[in-house]
Amino acid sequence: MGWSNSVPIFHDDVTYILQPEIPDKTIPYIDDVPIKGPDDWHIVPETGLPATHPANPGVRLAIWEFFQDVNRILQRMKYCGGTFSGRKLQLCVE
């Protein structure tokens, strides 16, 4: 059939690579891999502000956890030989 089945094959490959992250952190769609943001912002009851990372008080704990998820997903793809377009990458957008 030639390249007529290339899109579903590629989607299946990406889905297989990211299987441990589905559906908690991502649900890939063809070549788009959206990563879910934090569900819990770890609000400190006394201050009403988000908690900060213990080792770096300048970083919100929820953001640190989110970027751990991003790193893990990127590393899974990199390990399997995946490539990324920095020009098309969008971080922290709604």
39 domain residue, yes or no:
yes
**Residues paired with 26 in a beta bridge:** 35
Backbone angles phi, psi at 85, to 5 degrees: -100, 110
pLDDT value at residue 43: 95
The pLDDT value given to residue 2: 66
Residue 43 inside a domain? The answer is yes
Residue 91 lies in a domain: no
**What's the DSSP call for residue 50?**
B
* pLDDT class of 90 with cuts at 50, 70, 90: confident
**Can you give the residue range of the structural domain that contains 69?**
6-79
Task: Examine residue 90 and state whether it is found in any structural domain, yes or no.
Answer: no
Do residues 42 and 51 lie in contact, with contact meaning Cβ atoms separated by under 8 Å? yes
* pLDDT digits 0-9 by tens, 24-77: 999 999 889 999 999 999 999 999 999 999 999 999 999 999 999 999 999 999
Q: Please report the pLDDT score of residue 77 as a whole number.
A: 93
Domain count, the chain: 1
Q: Are 42 and 61 in contact (CB under 8 A)?
A: yes
Q: Based on the number of CB atoms within 10 Å of its own CB, is 18 exposed (0-12), middle (13-18) or buried (19 or more)?
A: buried
Please give the residue that has the higher pLDDT: either 58 or 86: 58
